[in-house]
Amino acid sequence: MITPRKRRGYNAPVLQEPKSLSAEQFLLTTLIVKLAVMAVLATMLARYHRFRHILIFERRAWPDRLVFALSIGIPLTAGVAARLLLNYNAADLTLEGSFLAGLIAGPYAGALVGLLVGTPALAAGEFGALPFAIGCGFAGGGLREACPKDDIWRFTPFVFVDLHRHLWQMFRKLEPNWSLILLLAPVALELLRQALGARFGAARIFHLEATSPVMIGLVVLATVLAVATPIKIWNSARIEHRLQEQEKLLLAAKVEALKNQINPHFLFNTLASISSLIRSEPETARTLITRLSALLRRLLRNQEHFVTLREELESVDEYLDIEVIRFGPKLTVRKAIEPATLDLVVPSMILQPLVENSIKHGLSRKLGPGTVVIRSWLEQGRACIEVEDDGMGFMMERLDQPMSSGIGLANVRERLRVIYGLSYQLQLTSEPGRGTRARIEIPELTTPERITA
């Protein structure tokens, strides 16, 4: 240390030697970074849809096992290379990665990960690394074959908190406690690695050298946590993925129920029209039955909840064929469809209730001829569809009545709400004696996510 030289009222700065970490502090830092590396890797893998899908199913095909092994093995191999080239010991997760792969995906996946991570170390002269890594993979795989799968996913970093409870259950029931076995397995493997390292040296098998029983305990603890932390992260991803799948199934079931509700409603109204024509116009009634049969066959063939606007308009045309026969020259249908909207994706059977509402409530009470206009266009990334009639219209105070009490419009509104959430608009405007206009605004989608019944 350089002592300051005193001058008249002036003290020179004291220069101190830089402090360095002790061996125990350096080892503790390495263990903390090691856990962080494992947690980051597990979190990154859990973000990929294919990897989460592999975690869901316990019975995995060989391609899935291979993808799982490579997803873990390649980053861990890079970590071993970083340890060899950069002397970055915290990146070497040979034991934890091989054992974890075997525990989750089976012995062969674990052995493959062990082969990947052990090869660079073997090339560097660590002859014990490859057989030890492969052995860890087989140890995890063998434990997976014997252990109930749910107990594997229940293995968490907090297993030490409930250690006394697991011990009590094991002695009380006199049967194996798999949480304890899953805890003891990485402990035994780490102690084995420490023993091999002490016997043959760090040049033959890599291990974090500990100089005291306390530090050995911390090394063992870090190994257990490095195995349990990814399991906890991946189990949370599994649960989240399953909840998303259940939400999709629930959405599909709700959309199907709403769609099935509209079909009997439409059928009842059409049969009522046919019934009124059977005696007065039997030939017209016969033609209506033929058209209705064709339309019903189309509905039975089409089990998709989403169709293009072109397909939806074709279904509306078949319905309008029936109504034109019923009303004759009194009914006129016009279309103003932008070509760019024909390939947009819309919920199936979403326009027919609007057209039916215009005819039934707007034009059927009108004495003279009536017109229904169907429009579609794009506006600021949204698809706009309108169905307008020049019928009798509604009073302003009665405008909300069709939306709340009528099956058709209420069904359309509910389906739009279920599918699009807050990203849709359904507006109904009317003027007595001038007609009614129903307008739908939905997100512009051109790639359908088809949900089949």
pLDDT digits (tens, 9 = 90+) for 121-156: 999 999 999 999 999 999 999 999 988 888 888 888
> What is the arithmetic mean of pLDDT over 205-212?
88
pLDDT for 258: 55
Going by the DSSP 8-state scheme, the letter that residue 4 receives in this structure is: P
pLDDT tier, 370 (very low <50, low <70, confident <90, very high otherwise): confident
- Paired tokens of 227: 């195995």
Residues with Cβ within 8 Å of residue 269, at least 6 apart in sequence? 356, 360
pLDDT of 327 higher than 80: no
Neighbours of 91 (CB within 10 A): 19
Phi/psi at 205 (nearest 5 deg)?
-150, 125
Going by the DSSP 8-state scheme, the letter that residue 160 receives in this structure is: G
Alpha-carbon span 122 to 256, nearest angstrom: 59
* Per-residue burial over 217-227, b = 16 or more CB atoms within 10 Å of its CB, e = otherwise: ebbbbbbbbbb
pLDDT for 280: 80
Span 3-31, pLDDT tens digits: 555 455 555 555 555 567 788 888 999 99
> What is the arithmetic mean of pLDDT over 35-42?
94
Q: What percent of the chain has pLDDT over 90?
A: 35
pLDDT for 297: 74
> What is the arithmetic mean of pLDDT over 229-258?
74
pLDDT of 49 higher than 90: no
Question: In terms of Cα–Cα distance, which of 410, 426, 262, 264 is closest to 348?
Answer: 262
Number of H helices, E strands in the chain: 15, 7
Question: In terms of Cα–Cα distance, which of 114, 111, 46 is closest to 80?
Answer: 114
The answer to pTM > 0.75 is no
When the pLDDT of each residue in the chain is averaged and rounded to a whole number, the result is 82
Burial of residue 95 (number of CB atoms within 10 Å: 0-12, 13-18, 19+): buried
Strongest mean pLDDT among 158-172, 355-369, 376-390 = 376-390
> What is the arithmetic mean of pLDDT over 88-112?
93
User: What structural domains does the chain harbor?
Assistant: 23-244 (no CATH), 278-443 (3.30.565.10)
pLDDT for 405: 47
pLDDT for 447: 52
Alpha-carbon span 422 to 72, nearest angstrom: 40
> What is the arithmetic mean of pLDDT over 436-450?
75
pLDDT of 285 higher than 70: yes
pLDDT for 99: 95
pLDDT of 46 higher than 80: yes
Q: Are 446 and 345 in contact (CB under 8 A)?
A: yes
Alpha-carbon span 104 to 85, nearest angstrom: 30
Going by the DSSP 8-state scheme, the letter that residue 363 receives in this structure is: I
